[in-house]
A and B are shown apart, each in its own frame.
Chain A
Amino acid sequence: MMDNKTFIIAGIIVALLIGVVAVFMASGDPDGLESTALVVQGQKQLTGATPPDVEIKEDMTGKFSYTAPMPDYSLGESMGTMGGSIAIIGGTILAFLVVLGLACAIKFAVKPAK
């Protein structure tokens, strides 16, 4: 049986490998929700392929808008797959640290309410 340290290291390595492979292998097709949006907007057939260069029409009236620093898990066109890998590796490590940090904070910093 693995000890805690080995388990954490092995787990993170597996996660990072999955993330980096994803940068090169992940499908560029829209996901289920985006695909459905294209179908209801009449831009795509339900069971058909997604035509190239289609864009989901968005009505932004009464909607909130926010631009993320690394949209679509990339650092921009010029950085290519290298940028994508950095974004995914950063995100994976951050997800680990945020959850570990919060979990530790809850467990050890917060005094039990009496």
Chain B
Amino acid sequence: MHIPDAFIPIWQGGIYWIIALVFIALALKWAKNEMNEEKLPLVAVLAAGIFALQSFNLPVSMGTSGHLVGGALAAIILGSPFAAVFILTMVLIVQAILFGDGGITTLGVNIINMGVIGGFVGFYTFKGLKGVTKSMPIAAFVAAWLACVIPACACAVEMFFAGTFPLTEGLLAMGIYHAIIGVIEGVVTVAAIYLITTARPDLVDLGVKTVTGR
């Protein structure tokens, strides 16, 4: 759901940029205060992994493809929605500047959708469901699915404000396509959390997991 420059007027892109900058500043503050030396490699490896996974478009039927976004993954693994903003901002900057995936004036709105909305929806859904279900896979799958679908709906509304999509038709198509793409998001997120917690249980705090051997 990387919005290209052509889809949003420059002035609207500017407004989203200003909002995005507030969250980027908060994310930098998170990095400064919460990210310890132990977590630093995990943050960088997650950035590389999310970049690679975002280039992997899987067919989701109906002439459409989709890939992992990674907002929920980053937020859950690192225990903060601002971690998602931090990582997604960097990944989106590299994608926009070098690969033309997502625009420059629309970088702000893309950071809001995938980093901020994806990160917050993913993190708090996971936190809430983990408490209720006590199950990492269920909580992470639902969190990641919502972290794909809700930003997609936000994107449809932004496209309506930009005069690019009509509201209902845009919401319907974006919602349907991302409801399926969200399944990829869910499966990959659960698998990645499983792999990372197996390799380095000390780095991940999922809330209720007891770390053994320490």
Q: Interface on A for B, CB 8 Å cutoff? A: 1-2, 4, 7-8, 10-12, 14-16, 18-19, 21-23, 25-33, 35-37, 39-40, 44, 46-50, 58-60, 62-73, 87-88, 90-100, 102-104, 106-107, 110
Contacts and interface: CB of A to CB of B under 8 A. Distances in A.
Nearest to B180: A32
Nearest to A46: B173
Nearest to A65: B5
A103 B202 CA distance: 20
Contacts of B3: 33
Interface string B49-70: 1111101111100111111000
A103 B63 contact: no
B199 A107 contact: no
Nearest to B179: A32
Nearest to A58: B6
Given A40-B170, A106-B31, A8 B45 contact: yes
Interface in B98-143: 98-101, 103-105
Chain B, interface SS category: helix
Interface of B: 1-10, 13, 28, 31-32, 35, 37-38, 40-53, 55-59, 62-67, 86-87, 90-91, 93-101, 103-105, 152, 155-156, 159, 164-166, 169-170, 172-174, 176-178, 181, 199-202, 213
A18 B48 CA distance: 10
19 contacts: A7-B45, A12-B48, A26-B67, A27-B58, A30-B63, A31-B64, A33-B2, A35-B63, A36-B173, A37-B165, A40-B164, A46-B62, A60-B6, A62-B10, A64-B5, A66-B100, A99-B44, A100-B40, A102-B90
Contacts, number: 233
Nearest to A18: B52
A98 B103 contact: no
Contacts of B165: 36-37, 40
Contact of B37 (A2, A10, A98, A107): A107
- Kindly name the residue among B65, B67, B103, B201 whose own CB sees the greatest number of chain A CB atoms within 10 A: B65
Given A15-B45, A21-B56, A29-B57, A98 B94 contact: yes
B13 A35 contact: no
A88 B53 CA distance: 10
Nearest to B38: A4
B44 A100 contact: yes
A99 B59 CA distance: 30
